[in-house]
């Protein structure tokens, strides 16, 4: 078992009993990590982990499905697309280890959702506050493009994560995350169709029971390096998300104690 696996399976400190949500998320994570439902993605994630990129040749790649990461009491859920081949597929933690993560975590830190602006290694102390990050597909896909059938295979995990968390706000990173989330609501009969919920950067729609969906462009290098997406654009949307949560009665300043958050970051 590698050090990351040991950290993930490490027992929580006994002075903080595990909440029902933490327990459920931990069980879900274990199931996700063991998943091999998509043969194409299993072959790709494991081959990338074996062959490695030259710059990371000394790393032991994670090479498995990447579970959600963050605060188990989060009121904000971020839904991305899929792990990066040499990012999350290497680190084992959502949106870390590549340029997308550099952009995203700086923005989350600036907005008060993360305790530090970077997340380069699994033991770097990164903690999310009131936020959990997950993805439509949990395995790194070739060309960053999971097939519709692979997203469908993975959808049940996202549904369960949503049911455990019951977030007040969902932030979709890109159109696929937006469509997958709305697809779940359509499948459940919460909305009649996805038509009428058009994705755009800065889009926001009110859904069931006080839940609001926000959309931003995906923080891919293609978007950030061409200037299509800037830090100012993310900051503006994250301010709106924060304001919405505060208006909904979520106390963003009185999150559980630091020790508890520290432990929760590894769930």
> CB-wise, 41 or 182, nearer to ligand SF4?
41
Q: Which is nearer to ligand SF4, 36 or 188 (CB)?
A: 36
Residues 17-46 that bind ligand SF4 (CB under 6 A): 32, 35-38, 41-42
What would the two tokens of residue 191 be?
A: 């909305």
Q: Residue 64 Cβ, how far from ligand SF4 at the closest point, in Å? A: 9
Find the part of the chain contacting ligand SF4 (CB under 6 A) among 71-79, 116-124, 133-141, 202-210: 133-141
Q: Of 9 and 236, which CB lies nearer to ligand SF4 in the complex structure?
A: 9
| Window of 20-28, 89-97, 134-142, 197-205 that interacts with ligand SF4 by CB under 6 A | 134-142
Cβ 151 to ligand SF4, closest distance in Å?
8
Q: Does 98 participate in binding ligand SF4 (rule CB under 6 A)?
A: no
Stretch 136-155 residues interacting with ligand SF4 (CB under 6 A): 137-139, 150, 153-154
Residue placing its CB nearer to ligand SF4 in the complex, 92 or 241: 92
State in angstroms the smallest separation of the CB of 40 from ligand SF4.
9
Q: Which residues bind ligand SF4 (CB under 6 A)?
A: 32, 35-38, 41-42, 65, 137-139, 150, 153-154
């Amino acid at each position: 078992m590698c050090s990351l696996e040991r950290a993930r399976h490490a027992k929580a400190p006994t002075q903080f009993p595990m909440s029902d949500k933490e327990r459920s998320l931990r069980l879900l994570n274990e199931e996700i990590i063991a998943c091999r439902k998509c043969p194409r993605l299993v072959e790709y994630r494991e081959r990338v982990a074996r062959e490695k990129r030259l710059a990371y040749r000394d790393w032991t790649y994670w090479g498995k499905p990447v579970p959600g990461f963050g605060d188990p009491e989060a009121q904000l859920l971020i839904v991305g697309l899929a792990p990066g081949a040499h990012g999350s597929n290497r680190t084992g933690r959502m949106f870390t280890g590549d340029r997308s993560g550099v952009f995203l975590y700086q923005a989350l830190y600036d907005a008060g959702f993360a305790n530090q602006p970077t997340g380069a290694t699994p033991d770097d102390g990164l903690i999310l506050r009131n936020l959990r990050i997950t993805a439509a597909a949990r395995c790194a896909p070739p060309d960053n493009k999971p097939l519709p059938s692979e997203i469908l295979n993975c959808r049940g995990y996202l549904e369960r994560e949503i049911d455990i968390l019951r977030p007040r706000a969902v932030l979709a990173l890109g159109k696929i995350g937006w469509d997958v989330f709305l697809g779940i609501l359509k499948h459940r009969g919460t909305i009649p169709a996805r038509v009428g919920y058009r994705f755009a950067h800065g889009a926001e729609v009110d859904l069931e029971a006080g839940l609001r969906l926000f959309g931003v462009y995906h923080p891919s290098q293609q978007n950030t390096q061409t200037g299509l997406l800037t830090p100012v654009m993310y900051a503006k949307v994250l301010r709106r998300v924060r304001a919405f949560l505060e208006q909904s009665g979520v106390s963003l300043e009185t999150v559980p104690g630091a020790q508890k958050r520290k432990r929760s970051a590894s769930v």
